[in-house]
């Protein structure tokens, strides 16, 4: 907040005549994305260049507020004191579970989701009820495919929600997908995963895709016979890198430059899905939130691209700072090491 005030002050009084040294931090005109370690759930904090924020999912409940605490630590790092939008992709515990503890700890503006729970299971009904209770009194928006969110400086395109999805291609997308021919048919999924809210977030030329836990049947509806999504710079590997998601026809057609897996030490990042992402044409690097204990060394990236190498970890994040020309830098929160991916 202080940085924003200084920036506003400089803009009003000095910007026409003087460069305002000190106010322009390297991230002040950048999109920031924190992949927060919630031990195999999802929690992704997006802070737009204007300082507005979107949190996609909240991790797990319990553990004495561990995941809400990690989200608040990332918010603090990002220089924000409230979260403007919290988007819940679907009502599985590893995504929606952290909401009650989060609203106890930090101010949240608007909750965004796909509408009522659509999964016929006791645990999901329980978690949805806890969510409804926790968001009472907050602004609440139910989104549909094709909608956006009004966040200044970036565009948030809703691609899927409640089992529906966009049916016409995004601008520049829609070409025939050569990988569809060899893709096996996908099973019908009537769990909440298939109802995930998926979003593409763009900042100028930079494109980041997060499909929540969307499973193969819906992935293929977006990817085949024509790829409705186009290509992306940064891909949050769907469903923590599980085999129920990550059809080759989608992951390869996306042509991600960099992929991040939000796996836990013993959740997600299955060897088969890991290999599909790893072999994706044009991939420059794959990063993981955790070393996958149940995979072998050959199905884990090198330690320098893993945020948490020990099962009993400190909950380190991976952070991306992106520029509007499509260049972005990834920082390993454990080591502080950075790698920049220049726009080609």
Please report, as ranges, the residues that interact with Zn ion according to CB under 5 A.
92, 94, 193, 213
Of all residues in the shown chain, the one whose CB is closest to Zn ion is 92
Q: Which is nearer to Zn ion, 88 or 321 (CB)?
A: 88
If DSSP states are collapsed to H, E and C, what string results for 246-278?
A: CCHHHHHHHCCCEEEECCECCECCCHHHHHHHH
How far is it, in rounded angstroms, from Cα 244 to Cα 335? Answer: 32
Q: Which is nearer to Zn ion, 193 or 247 (CB)?
A: 193
Q: How far is the CB of 116 from Zn ion (least distance, A)?
A: 16
Q: Which is nearer to Zn ion, 94 or 183 (CB)?
A: 94
Q: How far is the CB of 30 from Zn ion (least distance, A)?
A: 28
Q: Which two tokens stand for residue 260?
A: 């991040």
Question: Smallest Cα–Cα separation from 89: which of 58, 122, 51, 127?
Answer: 58
Give the helix ranges, DSSP H, for the chain. 2-13, 66-78, 93-96, 99-105, 122-135, 216-223, 248-254, 271-278
Q: Are 260 and 289 in contact (CB under 8 A)?
A: yes
Q: Which is nearer to Zn ion, 95 or 316 (CB)?
A: 95
Q: How far is the CB of 191 from Zn ion (least distance, A)?
A: 7
Q: How far is the CB of 273 from Zn ion (least distance, A)?
A: 13
Q: Which is nearer to Zn ion, 195 or 316 (CB)?
A: 195
Question: Smallest Cα–Cα separation from 234: which of 31, 89, 40, 87?
Answer: 31
Q: Which is nearer to Zn ion, 48 or 89 (CB)?
A: 89
Q: How far is the CB of 308 from Zn ion (least distance, A)?
A: 17
Q: How far is the CB of 284 from Zn ion (least distance, A)?
A: 26
Q: Which is nearer to Zn ion, 143 or 151 (CB)?
A: 143
Q: Which is nearer to Zn ion, 193 or 263 (CB)?
A: 193
How does DSSP classify residue 109?
Answer: E
Strands (E), 132-217: 139-142, 148-149, 155-161, 164-165, 198-203, 206-210
* Contacts of 304-309 spanning 24+ positions with Cβ under 8 A: 304/332, 304/335, 304/337, 305/332, 306/332, 306/334, 307/35, 307/37, 307/332, 307/333, 307/334, 308/37, 308/265, 308/334, 309/334
How far is it, in rounded angstroms, from Cα 45 to Cα 129? Answer: 24
Q: How far is the CB of 89 from Zn ion (least distance, A)?
A: 8
Q: Which is nearer to Zn ion, 39 or 213 (CB)?
A: 213
Name the burial class of residue 97, with classes exposed (0-12), middle (13-18) and buried (19+) by CB atoms within 10 angstroms of its CB.
buried
Q: How far is the CB of 137 from Zn ion (least distance, A)?
A: 26
Name the burial class of residue 185, with classes exposed (0-12), middle (13-18) and buried (19+) by CB atoms within 10 angstroms of its CB.
exposed
Q: How far is the CB of 216 from Zn ion (least distance, A)?
A: 14
């Amino acid at each position: 907040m202080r940085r924003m005030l200084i920036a506003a002050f400089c803009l009003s009084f000095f910007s026409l005549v003087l460069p305002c040294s000190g106010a322009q931090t390297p991230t002040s005109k950048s999109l920031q994305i924190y992949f927060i370690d919630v031990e195999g759930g999802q929690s992704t904090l997006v802070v737009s260049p204007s300082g507005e924020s979107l949190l996609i999912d909240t991790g797990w409940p319990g553990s004495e507020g561990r995941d809400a605490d990690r989200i608040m630590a990332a918010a603090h790092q990002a220089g924000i004191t409230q979260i403007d939008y919290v988007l819940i992709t679907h009502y599985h515990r590893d995504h929606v579970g952290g909401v009650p503890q989060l609203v106890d700890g930090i101010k949240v503006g608007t909750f965004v989701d796909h509408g009522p729970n659509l999964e016929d299971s006791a645990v999901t009904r329980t978690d949805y009820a806890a969510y409804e209770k926790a968001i009472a009194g907050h602004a609440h928006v139910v989104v549909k495919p094709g909608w956006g969110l009004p966040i200044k400086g970036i565009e948030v395109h809703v691609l899927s929600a409640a089992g529906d999805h966009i049916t016409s291609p995004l601008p520049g997308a829609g070409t025939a997908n050569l990988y569809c021919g060899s893709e096996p048919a996908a099973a019908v999924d009537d769990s909440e995963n298939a109802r995930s809210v998926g979003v593409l977030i763009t900042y100028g030329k930079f494109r980041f895709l997060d499909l929540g836990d969307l499973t193969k049947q819906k992935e293929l509806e977006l990817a085949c016979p024509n790829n409705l999504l186009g290509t992306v710079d940064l891909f949050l590997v769907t469903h923590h890198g599980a085999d129920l998601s990550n059809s080759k026809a989608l992951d390869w057609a996306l042509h991600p430059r960099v992929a991040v897996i939000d796996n836990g030490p013993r959740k997600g990042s299955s060897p088969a899905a890991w290999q599909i992402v790893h072999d994706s044409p044009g991939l420059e690097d794959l990063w993981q939130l955790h070393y996958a204990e149940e995979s072998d060394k050959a199905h884990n990236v090198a330690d320098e691209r893993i945020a948490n190498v020990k099962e009993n970890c400190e909950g380190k994040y991976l952070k991306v700072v992106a520029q509007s020309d499509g260049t972005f830098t990834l920082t390993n929160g454990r080591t502080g090491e950075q790698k920049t991916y220049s726009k080609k």
